[in-house]
Amino acid sequence: MTQKIRKAVFPAAGLGTRFLPATKSSPKEMLPLVDKPLIQYSVEEAVASGIESILIITGRDKTAIENHFDISFELEQVLQERGKQEMFELVRAVSDLAKISYTRQKQALGLGHAILQAKDFVGDESFAVLLADDVIDAETPALKQLIDVYEKYDAPVLATMQVAGEAISRFGVIDAEEIEPNVSKIKNIVEKPKFDDAPSDMAVIGRYVFTPELFDAIERSETGAGGEYQVADAMRILLDEGKPFYAVRLDGVRHDAGDKLGFLIATVEFALKRTDLAPEFKAYLKSLNL
Ligand code: UTP
């Protein structure tokens, strides 16, 4: 029997330099996609995948995230006084979503270092990691797709997607052998390879299921430029020791909402799915005659 994945870690302490100046004093995880902050989409995905307990790793100026998932007494009181029951319920539902705790990453020393801050929270259980700026629109929640593979193979699982052409150089890329449709056993991971050196067209994206062995591997990994700990280095240590890692090719559409163009595309796609907005929004887009 594999352990149930109950805990999820959300690293949200990055500097968000690709989205400046919006991210100067506000975390990119709070950028709104239509009317919900990015991080709410992935918290909802985690809950829909069976997660019971969440740790958000915050950096400087991240109080907006804590406030968003907390009860807002003042706002709720005003909404009730004004008879706005529907809005009251909408606001209350956010704070009822999940059991969430927070810890700080005091310096942005990379994703590996951010995950390391979750060591005490995770203990000796396998756990999930979600990067909220990767918004994944999928019928079966993306994390659930990973957990299903974890439960079958009892080993860590990474989410991947196919990336065509030169764009592959912006991702971690796996060298892997497909063992069943959409599931591969990983042989190696190469971080941001040149197009010609990429071992495949399968890019790693922001959903992971790890075993607690990862923490020790992060601690043993060498830091790169700027003292950053890369999670891919820790994974490579475990791979070199013969530990199995699997990859699932996600069924769904992934948006890089931490990037300006990716965010704009996601906004249009999500708005066009909204029954309350789509008719007028579509009419507007058509009127542009681009
Ligand atoms: P990114 O690679 O997107 O970096 O981080 P970033 O700093 O957030 O954004 P850019 O590239 O400068 O625009 C991937 C994920 O890892 C988290 C980020 O919050 C994001 O969810 N992260 C990154 C941390 O929590 N701490 C870090 O030190 C670095």
The CB of 43 under 6 Å from ligand 1? The reply is no
For residue 133, the ligand 1 atom closest to its alpha carbon is 21
- 274 C-alpha vs ligand 1 centroid, how far in Å? 29
- 278 C-alpha vs ligand 1 centroid, how far in Å? 32
For residue 259, the ligand 1 atom closest to its alpha carbon is 13
Amino acid identity at 191: E
For residue 57, the ligand 1 atom closest to its alpha carbon is 25
pLDDT at 182: 96
Give the separation between CA 164 and CA 251, rounded to whole angstroms: 17
Q: How confident is the model at residue 122 (pLDDT cuts 50, 70, 90)?
A: very high
% of the chain surpassing 70 pLDDT: 100
For residue 20, the ligand 1 atom closest to its alpha carbon is 13
Residue with tokens 């690709």: 18
- 13 C-alpha vs ligand 1 centroid, how far in Å? 6
Q: Mean per-residue pLDDT for 233-252?
A: 96
Strands of the chain (E only): list them: 7-12, 32-33, 36-37, 53-58, 99-104, 127-130, 134-137, 157-162, 172-180, 183-191, 202-210, 246-249, 253-256
The CB of 16 under 6 Å from ligand 1? The reply is yes
Phi, psi for 65 (deg, rounded to 5): -65, -45
pLDDT at 2: 80
Mode of pairing for the β-strands spanning 157-162 and 32-33 = unpaired
pLDDT at 225: 73
Q: How confident is the model at residue 290 (pLDDT cuts 50, 70, 90)?
A: confident
Q: Mean per-residue pLDDT for 100-126?
A: 96
Give the separation between CA 8 and CA 92, rounded to whole angstroms: 22
Q: Give the mutation target among 9, 10, 15, 254 for probing the ligand 1 site: most ligand atoms within 8 A of CB.
A: 15
Tens of pLDDT along 161-185? 999 999 999 999 999 999 999 999 9
Closest-CA residue, ligand 1 atom 16, reads: 111
Q: Mean per-residue pLDDT for 92-116?
A: 93
| Diameter of the chain measured on Cα atoms | 63
Domain-by-domain residue ranges, the chain? 7-285
Spatial CB neighbours of 110, under 8 Å, sequence gap ≥ 6: 223, 224, 228, 229, 230, 231
Q: Mean per-residue pLDDT for 250-263?
A: 97
**In 223-253, which positions are buried (b, 16+ CB within 10 angstroms) versus exposed (e)?**
eeeeeebbbbbbbbbbbeeeeebbbbbbeee
Q: Which fold has domain 7-285?
A: Spore Coat Polysaccharide Biosynthesis Protein SpsA; Chain A (3.90.550)
Amino acid identity at 18: R
Query: Cα separations (Å) of 161 from 19, 136, 257?
Result: 23, 11, 16
- 47 C-alpha vs ligand 1 centroid, how far in Å? 22
Residue 190: alpha-carbon gap to chain centroid: 20
DSSP 30: G
Radius of gyration of the chain (CA): 20
Length, in residues, of the chain = 290
Among candidate residues 8, 20, 165, the one with its CA nearest the CA of residue 98:
8
The CB of 134 under 6 Å from ligand 1? The reply is no
pLDDT at 244: 97
Q: Give the mutation target among 30, 104, 129, 131 for probing the ligand 1 site: most ligand atoms within 8 A of CB.
A: 131
Closest-CA residue, ligand 1 atom 23, reads: 14
Among candidate residues 104, 131, 172, 110, the one with its CA nearest the CA of residue 11:
131
Does residue 226 have a pLDDT over 90? no
Does residue 259 have a pLDDT over 90? yes
- 161 C-alpha vs ligand 1 centroid, how far in Å? 19
pLDDT at 222: 87
Closest-CA residue, ligand 1 atom 5, reads: 14
CB-hemisphere CA count at 13 Å for 246? 25
